[in-house]
Every structure is written in C-alpha cells, then in structure tokens.
Amino acid sequence: MRWGGGLRRYKNNQLSHWWQHSHTSSIRMLDSVMDVLQGFGVSSTNYLQSHYQDAKGLFLWVSWAADLRNTFFIFFPLWFHLRASVGIKLIWVAVIGDWLNLVFKWILFGERPYWWVHETPYYASSVRPHIEQYPMTCETGPGSPSGHAMGAAGVYYTLVTSILVFTASKKKHGSRKSNNTSRSLYLRVVLWTLFWAVQVCVCLSRVFIAAHFPHQVVAGVITGMLVAEAFNRTQWIYNASMKKYFYTTLLLTSFAVGFYLLLKAVGVDLLWTLEKAQKWCVNSEWVHLDSTPFASLLRNMGTLFGLGLGLHSPLYMETKKSSSKAVKAVCIVSTLVLLHLFDSFKPPTHTIALFYLLSFCKSATVPLVTVSIIPYCVSGALGLHTKKAV
C-alpha cells in the first residue's frame, strides 16, 4: 500500500512538473512569436516613416477621418436623414463594435509600438530602431485589435452593403435587365475597390504613426467586417423599444465595469497602458483622457442611449412621416453645422468623474438632436406642423 501510494505521488509530481514545464515553454514560444511580429511591426513603422515622410499629412488625416467620432457627427446625420434604417444600423455597428474592441483589448493585452520599442529585450543584441511620434500616436488603451481599423471596416462595410441592397431593390423595378446587371456589377466593383482602398489607407496610417502593429490592424479589419455582417442579418434593431435601448446600455456598461472590477480584484490592472503612455509619449499634451477605455465606453453607451431617446421622442413621431427632399436637405445641412459647433465643446478634465458624465451626456445629445430636435425645428420653420393641423 505504501509502495503504491508513493508511486502515485511520484507520478503526480512528474505530471505536475511536466505540465509546468510545458506551460512555461508554450508561454516562451508565444512570447517569441509576438516579439517577431512586433519587431516586424516596428520595422514597418520605421520604413514608412523613413520613405514616406512626405505623406505624413495624408496619414494623419486618414487616422483622424477613421475615428468613430466622425461616424457619429458626420455619417450618421447624413445617412439617417437620407435613409433612417442605414443610420440606425451605423450606430449599432459602431457602438457594439467599439464595445467588443474594448473587451478584446482588455483580454489580449496588446502592446503599442511607441512604448514597446523602448521596453522590449528583443533589441538587446542590436540597435534599437528610432520611430517618430505624432499627436495621434499616444493612445492610452491596449493595442489589439486596432479600434480605428475595426471601426472603419465596420462602418464602411455597412455603407457598401446597404447601398448594394438599396440598388438591388431598385433594379427589380427596371425594364432592361441586361443593362441593370452590368451596372450592378460595375457598382459592386467600384464600391468594394473603394472599401479596400480605405482599409489599406487606415491600416497604413495607424502603422505609420506607431499607434499599432500590422497584425493589430489586420485583426481590426476582420473583426469589424464580422460585426457589420452580423448586423446585416439583424432586424430587431429597427423596431427596438426604449426599454431595449435602456437595458442594452445598462447591460453593456455593467458587463464592462464588472469585468474590470473582477480582474482588478484578482490583481490584474486593466489600466496598465495609461502608465506606459504617460512614460513613453514624447509630449505629455498628446496623452488625452478621451482615449482611455472608460471614456470610449461611456461615449458609446451615451450614443446608443441617445439614439433610443431620439427614436422614441414625441418630436420624432411628429416628423418622421415627412419625406420631402427639401426637408431632408435642410435637416442634413442644419444637423451637420450644429453638430460641428457642438463638437467644439470639450468636457473639463480636471475631475475624472465629471469628465465621464459630461462625455456620456454629450454623446447622447448627438443622436437625440439628429433624430428628433432638428427635424422638428425644421418642420416648424417650414410650416409643416401648421399644414398638418389644417
């Protein structure tokens, strides 16, 4: 019996030792693979900055244009007034995609080139490459997958597929089938070519400014397209009640905050990247509070909640039946101008809690103004309310 028990303990110890060794070897192998990937990424950034410095202005503009803020302040107002269903889907794709991006970043612990190049032992036996930083470089969240690439892929995939569905429905009423087929094929080629051109530009811009590694932007494009395709197959969002908007906002916020608190309780600091950004960014003014994970979370939740408020507002109920092209044109121009002015308001950052609260409120105001307040005011100015009453 003693001999048998000793043998079992010996086997268990051997098995435990083998598992620990295997686990350690797997981690080292994974670290080696990531070092190679990230080393290639830094080399790519160094190459782009060395050979395409003249295109710096273009790359910076592309990174600015790919920010989801432009989806909320430009694409959504434009498309909502042209075709409400597309505008609604844009918000859902952008918000849910960015929420998933936040969760993925917290799970994957992705590095960013501008701090990794200074801390990694990968260059211990070679010259450490020098990479430039720019005002958009010093983002404070983890790097994988790229939020800009994921957002751009999701938004433009939604726009391309929505346009193709719309033109396909119009084609059914056409008389010349062969002519319509050739036009449809031409439109598909043009739109998908533009889509991939945008994705390549966004990916290159994020690598150029040293905000992301190449594998992070590729992962962002793939996940963004998957999110958009999922919402292409989802219909309930167009008729969602205010209760669904409220509970969805509450659920997503609670999950993210709960996940953060849970990992913090077991000793995992999900805000580890903020310290790295503050340490390695060459200009402290480039480290912005609005690029932190919680700022992104509350901005997106505010947008989704504001969309629900707008769609269920009595003002929207009064004006949604108006399909006049003149009214739509005035609504688009008025909304874009007003939101441009509104975007100049920046919440104060001296108190973090106040900053987050005002960010939520500001984000909720954007769809609320777009969906209900502006159309109601335009209809009133054009005398449509009076005509309906008569």
Question: Which residues are the active-site residues?
Answer: 148, 212
State the virtual CA torsion across 179, 181, 183, 184 in degrees, nearest 10: 160
- Do 220 and 63 form a contact (C-beta atoms < 8 A)? no
Residue position matching structure tokens 């688009």? 332
137 CB contacts (<8 Å, ≥6 apart)? 114, 209, 210, 211, 281, 286
Enclosing H/E stretch for 203: helix 177-208
Q: b/e map of 100-131 (b: 16 or more CB within 10 Å)?
A: bbbebbbeeebbbbbbbbeebebeeeeeebeb
DSSP string, 279-339: HH-S-GGG--GGGSHHHHHHHHHHHHHHHHHHHT-HHHHHHTT---HHHHHHHHHHHHHHH
Enclosing H/E stretch for 258: helix 242-265
SS3 18: helix
